[in-house]
């Protein structure tokens, strides 16, 4: 996938405008010339300038022949979208259900799904998922004392 | 002094200390090699154990774990494109490109060897010039730190490559991300949208994991080939190649070590900034600019030397004025106090043998990098044989656990996810990631010192050049920018004229 | 493959039933988390980690220190208040908790927590550069009065710890805080450093944070904000001795979430009291220059109420 300079430039410039507009609502401190808005305002102006220059450069070099978004072929795209969905769902599952269900169960499911989908050998995948889940739990929770939430398994482990 | 040295040798030579150094090195190796777990965390986890140890063994454990975890951070960066520490991110592209060429042993070996060299040079400077350098570090006020931060940010753009415009745009994204959270001067929450998890700002580690690990996992998952076929590396053993690199790039290594020590000695500027600045300076001075970014050993030499040297440098103000140079020495100072060794100018007189013992421990801890570097090479060989289809899901879990571990909070996972998405967009638009990372790492330092300076001068901009040190650094910053702008204008003019 | 999963499931069920029995055992039967709302290596962190080592001995379970830093301590202290009140999450809080509500930063006060016990205090100071013209509080105050808005003070971010101490001092002197330019700094050590580097004129952070700089002849202490002279800085006079009726100090203490399980609380109360008064904890505190100050639960709660009242008075006077 490729995003053209003109498109990303426009996005950055718009972000810059939004930042400059948003920081003007920040409170100023009595007796101080510069407040909490100074630094983000400077970066917002920077985004606007460099985004704008990217748009100009993109338009000039392309001379009218450009595609805003160049997509790869359908097969690659489908595979990429599936992979992105897997990552997204896995992370959100940990965030939403990590406290209640516990990391260990979720980690096992995520590993199993990921391994079966890409490794495609059920027995080996299951064994690997179990081994990796135990290994991660031992390293992070037991050895390094990271307070990984165990959810329903609290007190069991 | 000689008797101090002898008793120091006895202290360090005790089986307890030597054993501690080995165990702590191993611990640092494991922690450093896991993404999301920093050298600081390795040291913090050691604190309860230091209670049980003799004073010198306690310090030895901290020094060894820190030195080793900074080096070990290079391993996942090289093999998996996931920097173990922000310092490793400075030369990750070249390290990974070399691994893709089948040179994993060479890269990891070089990282260990030049880390050792940097650490030892840093220690020698620590021994020779502690009181002097500490006095120098004390003259730095917010003005000098502001300019130093600006110099660091300039490096971001210099490192990023040829497209100045995209480098700048990327830097602005990083600075904007750095300004999320409670404002330093008033406590006003900026861009937090009511979430208290964002009050503390975007923490580096989840951000770093998101920006580098998630796109890499995505790439691995959407690949069709299951086994990575790495070409055979160039003929010759890793050792002989490292020797060659040492002969060829001794100057970047020495320069990186000296700069790393000096930057490390400044309170608030640690190994991360040292590595970035050293790589940037080397890039400007290199004789082979065409090789950079395609698997070149020079940045690994320069950055690897600098970050281990910075660890030693950070001890200079810590020992002399109890001012921590970085978070690791902040913890070490606490442990020194607990052990009844009070850091301060008197430590050299009252506790001379202790100081020499610390120096000896530094030398030993850095020498430990070599055997552990060999271990790293063996592990790398194993990791590279695992099919990518197995690596990708495991990496995802590792990334999530790392992002969680830094603050023990779910918000780390969300930050990782958001910045992973940002990195994917940036990759697709050809925006370099390095300036954004440096913007996130240094944005707060630059802003806080800018605001602190502006408030203490009541808005007088000329005062930024009043102090000699700050004037020098300011002029240097402007000189770099003048040079870069002139060069790009010149390039633009040349491109237009033939037509 | 089927047989493998079946035996695995059997093992899992066996494991679950076995540990379900163990779950009913007496508190504490698993590791305890101690949240520190400040970064690793800071003053609060050292107190927490020293205390945790002693607590482990008392409770017979590992006590792991978790740093949830940033945001002026608000996220970390909120996490303590919102933790599951089963006694497996406690926290080591600092006096910052009295600063949030008076400034409208967060609706979080001592009321949202269960007080377990105060461990120590850390008095503020007034410290100038070693080559500064001021040798006593009197001279510094005279200079502030003679040249308002030129003298620079530092030691903390506005609204945080040592800045609150500074505000109280100015009110006690009958001066307006506006008469001094407050230079924000990231914590006490950085504030002292700014004074030593010759930018700010004085710092209100603790003597502990300045100790090595004083020994190295970089800083000169003018006064301690403690009620009595501090042992390891016995040559530094108090403010009271110099005719200024004012004291200020930070404090640390152990708390848990509100409505903590009473059985667990009883065990914790006993364990924290023993740990906080253990020889090695007191020794560690004194090595660093903290003042050991034990206040058990109810007394600690009264103390926090009083502290909140004092801060409320300072900040409401400031906004007038």
The per-residue pLDDT for range B426-441, each reduced to its tens digit, is: 999 989 888 888 888 7
CB B280 within 8 A of CB B96: no
Nearest CA in chain A to C63: A145
Q: How far apart are CA C177 and CA C191, in angstroms?
A: 18
In C, which residues are within 8 Å of B331 by CB distance?
Answer: 40-41, 45
> Which among B185, B197, B322 is the nearest to C75, CB-wise?
B197
Q: Do B416 and A80 touch (CB under 8 A)?
A: no
Query: With 90 as the cut, is the pLDDT of residue B213 above it?
Result: no
**Residues above pLDDT 90, as percent of chain B:** 25
Query: With 60 as the cut, is the pLDDT of residue A141 above it?
Result: yes
B15-24, B80-89, B345-354, C237-246: the lowest-pLDDT one: B345-354
Chain A and chain B share a number of CB contacts under 8 A equal to: 173
Q: What pLDDT does B160 receive?
A: 60
Q: Do C19 and A155 touch (CB under 8 A)?
A: yes
Query: Is B345 touching C (CB cutoff 8 A)?
Result: yes
Q: Do A155 and C5 touch (CB under 8 A)?
A: no
Interface of C with A in 46-85 (CB under 8 A): 62, 64, 66
Q: Do A110 and B401 touch (CB under 8 A)?
A: no
Residue B226: pLDDT band (50, 70, 90) is low
Q: Do C53 and B203 touch (CB under 8 A)?
A: no
Judged on CB neighbours under 10 Å (0-12, 13-18, 19+), B32 is buried
Q: What pLDDT does B162 receive?
A: 67
Q: How far apart are CA C145 and CA C151, in angstroms?
A: 10
Chain B and chain C share a number of CB contacts under 8 A equal to: 156
Mean pLDDT of B360-386: 89
Q: What pLDDT does C274 receive?
A: 95
Q: How far apart are CA B285 and CA B276, in angstroms?
A: 14
Query: With 90 as the cut, is the pLDDT of residue B117 above it?
Result: yes
Query: Is C148 touching B (CB cutoff 8 A)?
Result: no
Q: What pLDDT does C7 receive?
A: 43
Q: Nearest CA to CA, how far is C175 from chain B (Å)?
A: 20
> Which among B185, B321, B456 is the nearest to C200, CB-wise?
B456
Query: Is C288 touching B (CB cutoff 8 A)?
Result: yes
Any idea what the Cα angle at residue C208 is, between residues C205 and C213, rounded to 5°? Answer: 90
Q: Nearest CA to CA, how far is C29 from chain B (Å)?
A: 20
Which secondary-structure segment (H or E) carries B285? helix B271-285
Query: Is A143 touching C (CB cutoff 8 A)?
Result: no
CA dihedral B51, B53, B54, B56 (to 10 degrees): -100
CB atoms within 10 A of CB B80: 24
Q: What pLDDT does B157 receive?
A: 67
Residue B158: pLDDT band (50, 70, 90) is low
Please report whether residue B499 resides in a domain.
Answer: no
Nearest CA in chain B to C52: B48
Query: Is A134 touching C (CB cutoff 8 A)?
Result: no
Q: Nearest CA to CA, how far is C60 from chain B (Å)?
A: 15
ipTM greater than 0.85? yes
Interface of B with C in 44-103 (CB under 8 A): 44, 47-48, 51
In chain C, the domains with their CATH numbers are 31-122+250-318 (3.40.190.150), 125-242 (3.40.190.10)
In C, which residues are within 8 Å of B320 by CB distance?
Answer: 212, 216
Nearest CA in chain A to C19: A156
Q: What pLDDT does C10 receive?
A: 44
Q: Computed over its alpha carbons, how large is the radius of gyration of chain A?
A: 24
Query: Is A156 touching C (CB cutoff 8 A)?
Result: yes
Q: How far apart are CA B211 and CA B420, in angstroms?
A: 5
Query: Is B469 touching C (CB cutoff 8 A)?
Result: no
Residue B1: pLDDT band (50, 70, 90) is low
Query: Is B397 touching A (CB cutoff 8 A)?
Result: yes
Greater confidence (B412 vs B45) lies with B412
Mean pLDDT of B204-216: 85
**What is the per-residue pLDDT across B255-303, written as a single tens digit (0 to 9) for each?**
999 999 988 887 766 788 888 888 888 887 888 888 888 889 999 999 9
pLDDT, one tens digit for every residue, chain C (320 residues): 333 444 444 444 444 434 433 444 588 887 888 999 887 666 788 789 889 989 999 998 888 888 877 667 887 898 899 888 989 999 999 999 999 899 887 889 999 999 999 999 999 999 999 999 999 999 999 999 999 989 999 998 888 889 999 999 999 999 999 899 999 887 788 889 889 988 899 999 998 888 888 988 889 999 999 998 988 888 999 999 999 999 999 999 999 999 999 999 999 999 999 999 999 899 888 877 788 999 999 999 999 999 999 999 999 998 87
Q: At what angle do helices B411-428 and A74-101 cross, to 10 degrees?
A: 170
Please report whether residue B326 resides in a domain.
Answer: yes
Q: How far apart are CA B254 and CA B305, in angstroms?
A: 8
Q: What pLDDT does B270 receive?
A: 76
Q: What pLDDT does B336 receive?
A: 80
Q: What pLDDT does C17 receive?
A: 39
Interface of B with A in 454-493 (CB under 8 A): 454-455, 458-459
Q: Do A87 and B217 touch (CB under 8 A)?
A: yes
Q: What pLDDT does C16 receive?
A: 41
CB C112 within 8 A of CB C259: no
Q: Nearest CA to B32 among B86, B106, B110?
A: B86
Q: How far apart are CA C99 and CA C312, in angstroms?
A: 8
Q: How far apart are CA C59 and CA C56, in angstroms?
A: 5
Nearest CA in chain C to B139: C197
Number of compact structural domains in chain B: 1
Q: How far apart are CA A29 and CA A35, in angstroms?
A: 6
In B, which residues are within 8 Å of A9 by CB distance?
Answer: 169
Q: Nearest CA to CA, how far is A112 from chain B (Å)?
A: 9
Using CB atoms, which chains have 3+ pairs under 8 A with B? Answer: A, C
Greater confidence (B311 vs A28) lies with B311
Residue B339: pLDDT band (50, 70, 90) is confident
CB B310 within 8 A of CB B122: yes
Q: Do C178 and A31 touch (CB under 8 A)?
A: yes
Query: Is C78 touching B (CB cutoff 8 A)?
Result: yes
A29-33, B373-377, C308-312: the lowest-pLDDT one: A29-33
Q: Nearest CA to CA, how far is C9 from chain B (Å)?
A: 23
CB B161 within 8 A of CB B293: yes
> Which among A8, A34, A87 is the nearest to B431, CB-wise?
A8
Which neighbouring-strand residues pair with C154?
Answer: C183, C203
CB C154 within 8 A of CB C171: no
User: Which phi and psi angles does B182 have, rounded to 5°?
Assistant: -65, 130
Q: What pLDDT does C18 receive?
A: 40
* Residue-averaged pLDDT of chain B: 84
Q: How far apart are CA C116 and CA C266, in angstroms?
A: 9
Q: Nearest CA to C296 among C55, C108, C114?
A: C114
Q: What pLDDT does B246 receive?
A: 87
Provide the residue range defining the domain that includes B473. Answer: 2-494
Query: Is C8 touching A (CB cutoff 8 A)?
Result: yes
Mean pLDDT of B47-53: 76
Q: Nearest CA to CA, how far is B164 from chain A (Å)?
A: 10
Q: Which two tokens stand for residue B311?
A: 């660890």
Q: Do A123 and C1 touch (CB under 8 A)?
A: yes
Nearest CA in chain B to A145: B45
Which secondary-structure segment (H or E) carries A69? strand A69-70
Q: What pLDDT does B353 receive?
A: 82
Which secondary-structure segment (H or E) carries C256? strand C249-257
Greater confidence (A76 vs A86) lies with A86
Q: What pLDDT does A10 receive?
A: 95
Please report whether residue B391 resides in a domain.
Answer: yes
> Which among C1, C16, C178 is the nearest to A122, CB-wise?
C1
């Amino acid at each position: 996938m490729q995003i053209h300079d003109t498109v990303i430039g426009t996005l950055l410039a718009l972000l810059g405008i939004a930042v400059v507009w948003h920081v003007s609502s920040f409170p100023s401190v009595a007796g101080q010339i510069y407040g909490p808005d100074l630094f983000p305002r400077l970066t917002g102006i920077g985004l606007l300038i460099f985004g704008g220059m990217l748009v100009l450069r993109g338009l000039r070099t392309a001379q009218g022949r450009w595609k805003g978004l160049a997509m790869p072929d359908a097969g690659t795209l489908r595979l990429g979208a599936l992979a992105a969905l897997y990552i997204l769902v896995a992370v959100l599952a940990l965030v939403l259900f990590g406290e209640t269900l516990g990391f260990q169960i979720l980690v096992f499911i995520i590993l199993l799904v990921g391994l079966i989908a890409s490794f495609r050998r059920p027995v080996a995948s299951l064994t690997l998922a179990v081994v990796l889940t135990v290994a991660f739990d031992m390293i992070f929770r037991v050895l390094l004392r990271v307070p990984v939430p165990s959810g329903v398994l609290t007190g069991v482990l | 002094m000689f008797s101090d040295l002898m008793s120091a040798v006895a202290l360090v030579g005790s089986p307890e200390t030597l054993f501690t150094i080995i165990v702590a090195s191993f611990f640092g190796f494991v922690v450093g090699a896991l993404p999301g777990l920093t050298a600081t965390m390795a040291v913090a986890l050691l604190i309860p154990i230091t209670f049980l140890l003799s004073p010198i063994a306690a310090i030895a454990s901290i020094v060894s774990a820190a030195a080793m975890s900074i080096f070990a951070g290079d391993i996942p960066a090289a093999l998996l494109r996931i920097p173990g520490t922000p310092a490793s991110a400075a030369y990750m592209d070249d390290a990974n490109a070399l691994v893709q060429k089948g040179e994993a042993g060479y890269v990891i070996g070089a990282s260990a060897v030049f880390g050792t060299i940097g650490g030892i040079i840093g220690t020698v400077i620590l021994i020779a010039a502690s009181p002097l350098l500490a006095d120098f570090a004390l003259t730095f006020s917010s003005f000098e730190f502001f300019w130093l931060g600006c110099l660091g940010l300039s490096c971001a753009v210099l490192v990023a490559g040829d497209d100045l415009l995209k480098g700048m745009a990327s830097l602005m994204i990083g600075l904007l991300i750095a300004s999320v959270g409670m404002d330093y001067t008033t406590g006003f929450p900026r861009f937090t949208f009511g979430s208290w998890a964002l009050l503390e700002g975007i923490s580096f580690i989840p951000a770093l994991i998101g920006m580098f690990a998630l796109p890499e996992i995505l790439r691995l998952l959407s690949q069709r080939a299951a086994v990575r076929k790495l070409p055979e590396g160039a003929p010759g053993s890793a050792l002989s190649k490292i020797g060659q690199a040492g002969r060829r790039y001794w100057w970047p290594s020495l320069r990186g070590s000296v700069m790393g020590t000096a930057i490390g000695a400044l309170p608030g500027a640690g190994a991360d900034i040292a590595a970035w600045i050293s790589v940037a300076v080397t890039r400007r001075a290199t004789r082979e600019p065409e090789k950079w970014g395609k698997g070149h050993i020079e940045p690994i030499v320069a950055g690897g030397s600098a970050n281990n040297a910075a660890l030693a440098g950070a001890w200079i103000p810590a020992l002399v004025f109890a001012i921590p140079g970085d978070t690791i020495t902040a913890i070490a100072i606490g442990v020194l106090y607990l052990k009844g060794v009070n850091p301060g100018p008197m430590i050299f007189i009252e506790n001379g043998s202790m100081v020499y013992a610390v120096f000896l421990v530094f030398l030993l801890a850095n020498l430990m990098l070599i055997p552990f570097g060999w271990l790293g090479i063996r592990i790398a060989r194993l990791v590279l044989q695992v099919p990518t289809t197995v690596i990708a899901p495991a990496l995802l879990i590792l990334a999530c656990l790392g992002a969680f571990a830094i603050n023990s909070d779910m918000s780390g996972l969300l930050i990782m996810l958001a910045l992973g998405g940002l990195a994917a967009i940036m990759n697709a638009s050809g925006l370099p990631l390095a300036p954004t990372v440096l913007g996130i790492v240094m944005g707060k330092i630059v802003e806080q010192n800018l605001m602190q300076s502006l408030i203490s001068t009541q808005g007088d901009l000329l005062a930024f050049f009043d102090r000699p040190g700050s004037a020098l650094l300011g002029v240097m910053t402007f000189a770099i920018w003048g040079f870069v702008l002139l060069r790009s204008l010149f390039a633009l003019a040349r491109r237009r004229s033939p037509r | 493959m089927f047989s493998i999963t079946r035996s695995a499931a059997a093992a899992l069920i066996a494991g679950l039933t076995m540990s379900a029995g163990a779950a009913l055992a007496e508190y504490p039967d698993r590791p305890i988390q101690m949240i520190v709302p400040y970064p690793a290596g800071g003053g609060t962190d050292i107190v927490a980690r020293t205390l945790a080592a002693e607590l482990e001995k008392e409770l017979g379970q590992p006590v792991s220190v978790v740093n949830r830093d940033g945001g002026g301590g608000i996220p970390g202290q909120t996490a303590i208040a919102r933790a599951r009140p089963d006694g497996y999450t406690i926290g080591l809080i600092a006096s910052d908790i009295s600063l949030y509500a008076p400034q409208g930063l967060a609706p979080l006060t001592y009321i949202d927590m269960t007080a377990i016990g105060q461990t120590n205090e850390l008095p503020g100071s007034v410290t100038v550069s070693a080559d500064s013209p001021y040798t006593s509080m009197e001279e510094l105050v005279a200079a502030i009065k003679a040249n308002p808005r030129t003298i620079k003070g530092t030691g903390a971010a506005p609204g945080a710890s040592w800045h609150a101490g500074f505000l109280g001092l100015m009110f006690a002197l009958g001066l307006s805080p506006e008469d001094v330019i407050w230079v924000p700094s990231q914590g006490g050590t950085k504030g002292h450093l700014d004074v030593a580097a010759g930018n700010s004129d004085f710092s209100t952070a603790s003597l502990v944070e300045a100790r090595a700089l004083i020994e190295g002849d970089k800083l000169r202490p003018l006064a301690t904000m403690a009620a009595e002279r501090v042992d390891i800085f016995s040559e530094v006079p108090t403010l009271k001795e110099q005719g200024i009726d004012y004291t200020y100090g930070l404090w640390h203490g152990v708390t848990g979430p509100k409505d903590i399980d009473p059985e667990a609380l009883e065990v914790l109360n006993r364990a924290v009291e023993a740990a906080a008064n253990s020889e090695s904890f007191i020794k560690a505190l004194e090595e660093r220059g903290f003042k050991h100050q034990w206040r058990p639960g109810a007394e600690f709660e009264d103390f926090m109420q009083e502290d909140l009242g004092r801060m409320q008075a300072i900040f409401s006077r400031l906004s007038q």
